Amino acid sequence: MTASKPRVLATRHFPPDVETRLSANFDAKLNPEDKLYDGPLLAKAAEGFDGIMCAAGDPLNAETIVRLPASVRMIATFSVGYEHVDVAAAAKRDIKVSNTPDVLTDATADIAMLCLLGAARRAHEGTSMLRTHSWIGWEPTQLMGVHVTGKRLGILGMGRIGQALAERARAFRMTIHYSNRTRLPTDLEKGAIFYANPDDMLPHCDFLSINAPMTPTTRKWVNAERIARLPKGAIVVNTARGGVVDDEALIAALKSGHLFAAGIDVFDGEPKIHQGYYGLQNAFLLPHMGSATVETRNAMGFKALDNLEAFLLRGQTPPDLVKAS
């Protein structure tokens, strides 16, 4: 008699190659219409399942995890960030949690550079001018932006993505300043200037890129006081988590002209973003697409499956196990 496969609930519609492998190795319930679960529905849908493959934004908070059926033994998130999963609550239920580190570094760093360049060179205004048929020809003072080459880039959070962004910025001969919880070894620092206190870095940033994780410490870290410490005409880029930025403060600085522009791929409360962003011509906005390449999304899914397969099929510790802090 053939043993039954472990059952896995997929909370979202994942890339085709990922779902093919998921269905091959597990008794999987897919979500082809990509309907969003709220907490109670997710807990109910998980009845009888051994694992949950979720994604950023899924409401796997403490309230939901308490309501999960006893059958659930693992949650694998299709993301590096796991703030949507209450890891401590999961640990109390002896539910393993895994994430997908290392596979979206380059794709996200590419988008950070796109946001930086798009904001500096007024790309939103340029494309809008063309698409609204309002471009009447080249003019000597038209859409004059900010030069990128040779400028100072401050990076808050010098992890994998921050370091990958620094590599790209060096191709533009930018001087790298950074702040991190710990200073990098010299071979990884590559001449970048370290600040133990990130506030001390701000006056040296023509560009400030947010690459720090979302934590209680970083919540609304980019506030009015810190924005005021940036040089007039600076540009803020955020491809990390929307909650690291105080939207009201950033929008006010963009309106006042203290900041020249901002390039943003992530938003607090997305997709219901602050309405103030929509009217800003100097905001280059993207819909959370940092990891959105076929190669990267497949790699994220395969990483999540590596963890599910290790634990549910072979009884091994998930290679990307997230531990409660």
Which residues are within 8 A (CB) of 84 and not within 5 positions of it... i.e. 6 or more apart?
54, 56, 57, 58, 59, 60, 61, 77
* Cα separation values, 126 from 111, 120, 134, 173, 255, Å: 19, 12, 10, 25, 19
Q: Which of 122, 124, 177, 288 is catalytic?
A: 288
* Cα separation values, 100 from 72, 109, 157, Å: 20, 16, 18
Residue 270 among the catalytic residues: yes
Which residues are within 8 A (CB) of 182 and not within 5 positions of it... i.e. 6 or more apart?
none
Paired with 97 in beta bridges are 75
- Name the one residue in this structure whose structure tokens are 């409401």: 59
Paired with 54 in beta bridges are 77
Q: Which of 12, 84, 270, 274 is catalytic?
A: 270
Q: How far is CA 45 from the centre of its chain?
A: 27
Which residues are within 8 A (CB) of 54 and not within 5 positions of it... i.e. 6 or more apart?
11, 12, 60, 75, 76, 77, 78, 84, 85
Q: How far is residue 129's CA from residue 126's CA, in Å, rounded to a whole number?
A: 5
Q: How far is residue 180's CA from residue 162's CA, in Å, rounded to a whole number?
A: 10
Cβ atoms of 138 and 162 within 8 Å: the answer is no
Q: How far is residue 80's CA from residue 77's CA, in Å, rounded to a whole number?
A: 8
Residue 288 among the catalytic residues: yes
What residues act catalytically?
241, 270, 288
